[in-house]
């Protein structure tokens, strides 16, 4: 290579340099988010759902907002929800946060191996879920517990799954927090990043082929948009006009890697829609009303066969990536407090108070009620066991539910396992 004309050594061409993204703030730095452009609430136009994507390209760079600094709703994206619906939304988010807090403590107490909180991101799942039909198919990532809670999935079932105990309907075959519920149109969470994107598009295509009325919605973190699955999904969604919503949760951090490694230094994540011919919206993810309005807009668009939508929810991951993560090792401790878009629960609470439909005393009472509800469900679930307790599904179940008739090689393995258990624990029923 060095001997090639114009190559290194003797060449007068400028040397190339590799750019490696770096976050603005590291541990010990003072966080300053003044570089983030935050437009006034209500300043963004709301187009017709059947609009051509190229006509709304500006919305992929703007930031759709409804709740202003005065705690009032502004502009055409205001969904004009009644007070009861707003209170339900607030309670769902408060319940998610209470659930997260107790499950986090449970992991620290050794009751489960792993947990992931969604603190600061509750609106992106709760408000979005409330904007969808209850039977629309959801293909979640691992921080959408708010969708299940909003759809009424029993807390005890979620906790059983987290503990992988004898009450776990998934029989301990999934990692903690990777829920699944056919009855609640909630597809199984996968630890393989972005796989849910093409699955959601494929499901939506099948729904359209059958002439069904249900659409699909999927969630992915901004870091996972670097995966090829995400781009394949965008292409198929556009080509086949799939009735699907592709939600990108830009919470600024993918584990310990900041969003620049997924491309945020160059453009917005919503702008990725434009190259595929998708409708793209960039939304204040901590504004529950803006989240609801944008999700409802995209759902209406999909149902009208007007096309898929990619929505970037601009938010912030207030906690660590998971219980295995310590964010103080890679980001400024001030970031959470300095984040300019605030906390989604607090913002919706203040909006209801401004409307005269809520107060601090009722908020405190609701927080206590949610904490007690989660506590009671946890105690009930713990009767089925916790991590490492021995109260799990019968041993035989590891050979079940995959094949209608067990193939010969698994028959042999099952027989061998049974013999070994009889030797190790004589007199004990070997399949328990």
User: For residues 391-410, b (16+ Cβ closer than 10 Å) or e, as one string?
Assistant: ebbeeeebbeeeeeeeeeee
Same domain, 351 and 409: no
Shared domain for 317 and 407, answered yes or no, is no
194 in Cβ contact with 224 (< 8 Å) = yes
**Above 60 in pLDDT, residue 1?**
no
Distances (CA, A) of 415 to 71, 155, 409, 423: 66, 37, 10, 13
pLDDT tens for residues 339-381? 999 999 999 999 999 999 999 999 999 999 999 999 999 999 9
Tell me which residue range forms the domain holding 415.
395-424
- 360 and 403: one domain? no
Q: Three-state SS for 145? A: helix
Is pLDDT of 428 > 80?
no
Cα–Cα distance measured from residue 393 to residue 391, given in angstroms and rounded to the nearest whole number: 7
Whose CA is closest to 220, among 257, 245, 186? 245
Same-domain pairing of 294 and 239: yes
What pLDDT is stored for residue 418 in this prediction? 87
Helix H or strand E segment including 296: helix 288-303
Identify the pLDDT of residue 431.
61
Q: Do both 241 and 375 map to the same domain?
A: yes
Rounded Cα gap, residues 120 and 149, in angstroms: 16
Cite the beta strand spans of 222-353 per DSSP E. Answer: 244-250, 253-254, 257-258, 279-284, 309-314
79 touches 294 (CB < 8 A): no
Contact (CB, 8 A) for 330 and 26:
yes
* Structure confidence at residue 432 as a pLDDT band (50, 70, 90): low
* Whether residues 347 and 412 fall in one domain: no
**Is 31 within a domain?**
no
Q: Are residues 295 and 411 in the same domain?
A: no
Over residues 138-174, the pLDDT tens digits come to 999 999 999 999 999 999 999 999 999 999 999 989 9
pLDDT at site 3: 57
Q: How many domains does the chain have?
A: 2
Same domain flag for 97 and 142: yes
CATH number of 306's domain: 3.40.50.970
Q: Give yes or no: residues 347 and 415 share one domain.
A: no
Please tell me whether residues 113 and 240 are part of one structural domain: yes
| Number of separate helices (H) and strands (E) present in the chain | 12, 7
């Amino acid at each position: 290579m060095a001997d090639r004309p114009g190559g290194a050594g003797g060449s007068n061409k400028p040397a190339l340099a590799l750019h490696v993204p770096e976050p603005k703030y590291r541990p010990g730095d003072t966080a300053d988010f003044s570089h983030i452009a935050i437009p006034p609430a209500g300043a963004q136009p709301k187009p017709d759902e059947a609009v051509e994507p190229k006509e709304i390209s500006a919305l992929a760079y703007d930031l759709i907002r409804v709740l202003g600094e005065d705690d009032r709703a502004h502009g055409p994206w205001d969904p004009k929800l009644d007070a009861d619906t707003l209170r339900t939304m607030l309670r769902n988010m408060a319940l998610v946060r209470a659930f997260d807090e107790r499950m986090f403590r449970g992991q620290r107490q050794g009751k489960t191996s792993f947990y992931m909180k969604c603190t600061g991101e509750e609106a992106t799942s709760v408000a979005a879920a409330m904007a969808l039909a209850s039977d629309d198919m959801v293909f979640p990532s691992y921080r959408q517990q708010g969708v299940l809670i909003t759809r009424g999935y029993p807390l005890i079932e979620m906790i059983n799954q987290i503990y992988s105990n004898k009450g776990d309907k998934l029989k301990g075959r999934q990692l903690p927090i990777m829920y699944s519920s056919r009855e609640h149109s909630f597809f199984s969470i996968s630890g393989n990043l972005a796989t849910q994107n093409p699955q959601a598009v494929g499901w939506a295509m099948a729904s359209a082929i059958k002439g069904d009325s249900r659409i699909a919605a999927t969630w992915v973190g901004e870091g996972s948009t670097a995966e090829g699955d995400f781009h394949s999904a965008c292409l198929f969604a556009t080509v086949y006009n799939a009735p699907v919503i592709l939600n990108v949760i830009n919470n600024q951090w993918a584990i310990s890697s900041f969003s620049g490694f997924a491309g945020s230094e160059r453009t917005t994540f919503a702008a990725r829609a434009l190259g595929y011919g998708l409708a793209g919206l960039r939304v204040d993810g901590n504004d529950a009303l803006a989240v609801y309005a944008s999700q409802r807009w995209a759902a209406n668009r999909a149902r009208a066969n007007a096309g898929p939508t990619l929505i970037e929810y601009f938010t912030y991951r207030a906690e660590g990536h998971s219980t295995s993560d310590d964010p103080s090792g890679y980001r400024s401790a001030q970031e959470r407090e300095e984040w300019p878009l605030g906390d989604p629960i607090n913002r919706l609470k203040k909006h209801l108070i401004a409307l005269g439909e809520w107060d601090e005393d009722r908020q405190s009472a609701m927080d206590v009620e949610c904490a007690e509800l989660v506590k009671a469900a946890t105690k009930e679930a713990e009767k089925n066991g916790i991590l490492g307790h021995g109260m799990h599904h019968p041993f035989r179940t590891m050979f079940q539910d995959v094949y209608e008739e067990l193939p010969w090689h698994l028959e042999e393995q099952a027989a061998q396992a049974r013999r070994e258990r009889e030797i190790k624990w004589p007199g004990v029923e070997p399949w328990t």
